[in-house]
């Protein structure tokens, strides 16, 4: 079984691409949703976050105090790096455990910071969903009801797209003009062929 990583900057449309793969029967692991979940469910991670950021990091009912934690890491790169160093290994392990439970030719791992977190190293291939910055800004402004400045601020905190291009094995163009489905179908066929060839060579 192959593990395929998918990433893309904010507003690139990586979730839409993953939905197309899902429609083809490919299981998709959302690393960002899982990271948020395990911060509420993993006792080892919870203890580590409390030790690093104080008991205030969690409400009395045991739920993560997201507002407090956000205030601790906002504009504090050292604190953000510390939090990521705690959460990322747990999220990566969760994705590995999940993948081991699947019985399919390949699975998708969707992550906003696939390259930044280093989790791309656990994938057989990595896909970048690429959109022009102007298109991404317009999408996020419409989706989140925010102004251009706030979107640009979020984009500037992410790894530059040119760097991601160098690290990606495949690039899906989502510029609003190039059809997405044919690109996904081509990659799906490519991954299925790789798995079939590996299976045949092992028989």
More confident residue, 151 or 128: 128
Give the residue-averaged pLDDT of 36-50.
93
Average pLDDT, the chain: 92
Average pLDDT for 143-149 = 90
Average pLDDT value for residue range 57-67: 93
What pLDDT shows up at residue 194?
95
Please list, residue by residue across 99-123, b when 16 or more beta carbons sit within 10 angstroms of its beta carbon and e when fewer do.
Answer: beeeeebbbbbbbbbbbbbebbeeb
Task: State the DSSP code for 121.
Answer: G
Domains belonging to the chain, first-starting first, are 1-27+106-203 (3.40.50.300), 33-101 (3.40.50.300)
- CA 105-107-108 angle, to 5 degrees, is 150
Residue 86 CA to its chain's centroid (Å): 17
Using a 10 angstrom Cβ sphere, with 0-12 exposed, 13-18 middle and 19 or more buried, the burial of residue 47 is exposed
Per residue in 77-120, pLDDT tens? Answer: 899 889 989 998 888 888 889 989 999 999 999 998 899 888 89
Confidence of residue 130 (pLDDT cuts 50, 70, 90): very high
pLDDT of residue 18: 96
pLDDT at 203: 67
* Span 141-167, average pLDDT: 90
Inter-axis angle of helices 133-144 and 148-156, to 10 degrees? 120
User: What is the mean pLDDT of the segment spanning 133-160?
Assistant: 89
The pLDDT of residue 158 is 85
* Amino acid 105: pLDDT: 95
């Amino acid at each position: 079984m192959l593990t395929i990583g998918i990433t893309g900057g904010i507003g690139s449309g990586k979730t839409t691409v993953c939905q197309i793969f899902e429609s083809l029967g490919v299981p998709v692991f959302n690393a960002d949703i899982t990271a948020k979940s395990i911060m509420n469910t993993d006792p080892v991670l919870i203890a580590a976050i409390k030790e690093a950021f104080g008991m205030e990091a969690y409400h009395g009912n045991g739920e993560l105090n997201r507002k407090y934690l956000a205030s601790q890491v906002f504009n504090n790169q050292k604190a953000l790096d510390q939090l990521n160093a705690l959460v990322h290994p747990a999220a990566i392990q969760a994705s590995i455990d999940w993948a081991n439970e699947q019985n399919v030719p390949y699975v998708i791992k969707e992550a906003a910071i696939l390259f930044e977190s280093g989790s791309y190293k656990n994938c057989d291939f990595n896909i970048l969903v690429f959109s022009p910055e102007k298109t991404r800004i317009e999408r996020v402004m419409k989706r989140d009801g925010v102004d251009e400045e706030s979107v640009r601020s979020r984009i500037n905190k992410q790894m530059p797209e040119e760097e991601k291009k160098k690290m990606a094995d495949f690039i899906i163009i989502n510029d609003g003009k190039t059809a997405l489905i044919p690109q996904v179908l081509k990659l799906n066929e490519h991954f299925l062929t790789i798995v079939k060839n590996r299976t045949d060579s092992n028989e």
